[in-house]
Amino acid sequence: MEDATRALGKGSLPPGPVPEGLIRVYSMRFCPYAHRTRLVLRAKGIRHEVININLRNKPEWYYTKHPFGQIPVLENSKCQLIYESVIACEYLDDAYPGRKLYPYDPYERARQKMLLELFYKVPHLTKECLVALRCGRECADLKLALRQEFCNLEEISLTSFLGEPPGGATAMAPHHRRPQGGARRASSFHRLSGANLSWVLLGEPERPSKKTRASSIRAFSCSGGGNPTVLFYCLS
């Protein structure tokens, strides 16, 4: 998901009121939780604006949007605030017209939520791996646990139970799930270091190069000095 918006940090001025007819999402370019919400906004064709937050150096005013300064947060023109990624996604599906991403049938809706529950360990393990790498700590156990979670998910995706998200391509579940082949990509974390790791993990305002691209659907790709291209798939 391309996003050239600079992240707002401490000392920045708060944005003005949300224009009528728009919804605002407070986000961070590389946060899988925020990207869940942004993918749903796109899938439903909802007009929105993105305000990126520097999570390492959060603006003082942002704590009026979320009591703990977390992302994502939705804000509408009525100054109503909705946070927590899954709650925000459900709100968007219920509050806005267009194709429904959650099924109407209670059983099918429950099946989608069961599928999402199977994925919830992945973003946390991913963050722990990246933090350990950035701090120079050993993280073999974390990488093994993450790889196992991916293997479990891919095994489940090959079975008939929860294998095809209810609702097909218009279902909510695909907007929360990781790209296929995640277990193989988990083994690439050791290649992230220095500016590349800081850029991916913290959403630094400056990109390491003009050729850097970010896509929550396909991959993060960034170059570092004379090293080969580093691929990091966003786990959303």
Catalytic residues: 31
Q: What would the 3-class secondary structure string for the chain be?
A: CCCCCCCECCCCCCCCCCCCCCEEEEECCCCHHHHHHHHHHHHCCCCEEEEEECCCCCCHHHHHCCCCCCCCEEEECCCCEEECHHHHHHHHHHHCCCCCCCCCCHHHHHHHHHHHHCCCHHHHHHHHHHHHHHCCCCCHHHHHHHHHHHHHHHHHHCCCCCCCCCCHHHCCHHHCCCCCCHHHHHCCHHHCCHHHHHHHHHCCCCCCCCCCEECCCCCEEECCCCCCCEEECCCC
Distances (CA, A) of 61 to 6, 34, 204: 17, 19, 19
Pairing between β-strand 48-52 and β-strand 23-27 as defined by DSSP bridges: parallel
Omega within 30 of 0 (cis) for the link into 72: yes
Cβ contacts of residue 187 below 8 Å, gap of 6+? 143, 147
